[in-house]
Structures are given as C-alpha cells and as structure tokens.
Amino acid sequence: MKPIFVFIFYFSAVTSFAQKQIPEHSLQQMKIAELQLKKDADSMIYADDWFVRFKADSSFIKNFVQALKQPYSFWYNFDSVQTISKLYAPDSSFKIFTWEVMKDYTYYRQRGAIQFPTQDGSLKLIPLFDFSDFTKKPYDSIRNSQHWVGAIYYKIILKTYNNKKYYTLLGLDNNDARSTKKWIEVLSFDNEGKPQFGGKFVYPSNDATKPPQGATRFCLEFKKDASVRMNYDARYDAIIFDHLTSESDEIKIKHTLVPYGDYEGFKWINGTWTYIKNPFSGTVFDNKQTDFPSLLLDENGNRIEKKLDDASKKNKQKLQTPIKQGDNPSRIDDKKNQYNKGENSNS
C-alpha cells in the first residue's frame, strides 16, 4: 500500500480554548470514541485486504460522526488518530478532515468533511464526496461539496481580496499506479456558508507540464516514485514547487515527469496566485536558501555535476534505511518518500 500522508496541526491557542469550552462529560466520551477511531483508521490504511480496508473506512465514518456530535467537538483534535489529516483554518472559522482509502495500486478514493464551530457547541458538518472518477476535466469548474476533487490536505493559506476570505488548500492524491498528484485548491464560501472549490485564482505559465491557462485549480502530476516538493513558505509569502521535466522527452505524459533541479512559484497578487518562473531571482527569495535544497543547475541552466553526485548519494542513503521485518508496503514506501512528507513545512 502507498502511504497516506499525515498532517496534524494542533495549536496551543486551540488547546487552551478547548479546555475551557469542552464539557468534562463530552471530553471523556470523545476520548473513549478516539480509541475505536484509531483502530478503524489504522485498519483502513494498513490492512492487507482491500475489503477489510473499506469495511474499516465505513466503520470509521459512522463512529467519527457520532463522536463529533459531542458538544464542542470542534475543539477536540483526536491526536492519536494519525492516519487522517486534521487542519484548522488560520482564523479557526472551520476545520477540515481528509483521508484516503485504497483498493489497489490503481484505485484510490479520498474522503473529507468540513466542520464549523457553533455557539451552542452543536455539530455543523458538511461531508465532501470525491467526484474525481466521474470527470475527465477536473480543471473545468467551480465545485461544491458533492463534486469535490479529492485530496489529502496538508496546508491551509488564508488570503483576502475585496474584503472576502479565500482559503488555499494544498493537497496530495496518490492517484494511480503510475503517477501522483499535488493540488492547489482555493476554497471560499458563498452567502449561505456553503463551500465552493476552485475559481479563476491560479494562473500558471503556458507549459505542457501544467494545467491550461485560466484553470479553476492547479495540479502537479508526476512519476509515482518521484519526490516532488510543493508547499507554502510564510517568510516569503509564496507557494514553491519543483520544476518538472520528462525522463523520456515526452512532456505531455505525466507519469514520466520528475524534478528538474529548479523551482517555480506563485505569489498572491490582486486576488490570484500569480506564476513566478524563477523564484530565486530575488523577486521572492533572498540569498540564504537554508530551507530549500541547493539548485542542481547553474545560472545558465547547466548541470552542476558535484551537486548531482551529492544528491544521488543522499538518496541512496535514504533508501538503504533498514526495514524491519513485518513492515508493510505502506511503511516501506513512507521511508523511501521521507523527503516528500508533508508533515514538515518545507515539503
């Protein structure tokens, strides 16, 4: 099984508020529920048989909804359930849960839900339904919760434009046996508080490795075993991602795309994520690139052989990490993809 990437954000301010808001009885009930949720969540990721994984997924959803019905559950983070993503919006206006269940290497489905805080602590929850299998044009429209393009979200970025809030979601989709996807999805809410996914917010270059101009969301699709970085860096207020190229000079075939050794980015300008071809030119970054790997190309685009050799040695060392007997494929892949994990802020 391919790994599910776990991204848990638990802020001290939220913890403090939770201690004041969650009644003791509700707190104890959620702690009890959390024990079963952890078992279900682990089974739906690590069980060997796909039927067991999907059965555990169904059990998890049922038990999770029941646990969330406890008063003020919004402020309880289910910390031991580490195989689902749990993200608070930067302004604590909502909380989004996402996870993944796999049938085999060719079939993955994402699950999700958005929870909102309420004055009386009652449950306000909007489930998200993965519609990816039913559309061949995931870039074509603004979508509602019933037609969600599924992903496991690992970052929320809050931006405003014309006094309206926009929440940019960065997510991962294991996709299929040959390729993986990383998404930039802008979430907003209509006048009725219903979620809207996508819009004319991301403008990439006219590049065959990327979605078309004016797409409603942005996606990097790449070779399955490639380690591709895409994340937001608050210091530079930019989303940075790897520049991709084809191993076989077939740039339109996504499962041949791998990092080229250079970076691209987006800056939020006038209500859109505006493409930046060279984020290291000084437009976004300074000269102290301590949180990004050294570039593998010089200023003229030529390969820097020593850096390539050093990078190759490091990758070999990672793949030679001893694997204990009994490790399942998910944990093995997790070690191979350690550099790409979203649980550190530079992935």
Q: What is the 3-state secondary structure (H, E, C) of 112-126?
A: EEEEECCCCCCCEEE
Residue 157 and residue 89 in one domain: no
Question: Worst-scoring range by mean pLDDT, 47-51, 118-122, 313-317?
Answer: 313-317
Domain end (from 266, 292, 318): 292
Residue 169: domain span: 145-292
The alpha carbon dihedral of 284, 290, 293, 294 has a sign of positive
User: Residue 320: what pLDDT?
Assistant: 46
Q: Please indicate, yes or no, if residue 320 is contained in any of the structural domains.
A: no
Residue 78 and residue 189 in one domain: no
Nearest Cα to 211, choosing from 244, 188, 189, 239?
Answer: 244
Q: Please indicate, yes or no, if residue 298 is contained in any of the structural domains.
A: no
CA-CA distances (angstroms) from residue 347 to 141, 228, 241, 313, 336? 28, 8, 9, 20, 14
Residue 278 and residue 170 in one domain: yes
Domain end (from 103, 129, 155): 129
Residue 109 and residue 47 in one domain: yes
Residue 83 and residue 170 in one domain: no
Cα gap 294→308, rounded to integer Å: 10
Largest CA distance in the chain: 65
Q: Is 151 within 8 Å of 98 (Cβ atoms)? A: yes
Amino acid at 74: F
pLDDT of residue 347 exceeding 90, the answer is no
pTM: 0.77
On the 0-12 / 13-18 / 19+ scale of CB atoms within 10 A, 347 is: buried
Q: Please indicate, yes or no, if residue 326 is contained in any of the structural domains.
A: no
Q: Please indicate, yes or no, if residue 316 is contained in any of the structural domains.
A: no
Tokens 């990672």 belong to residue? 318
User: Residue 216: what pLDDT?
Assistant: 87
287 confidence band (pLDDT: 50, 70, 90): very low
69 confidence band (pLDDT: 50, 70, 90): very high
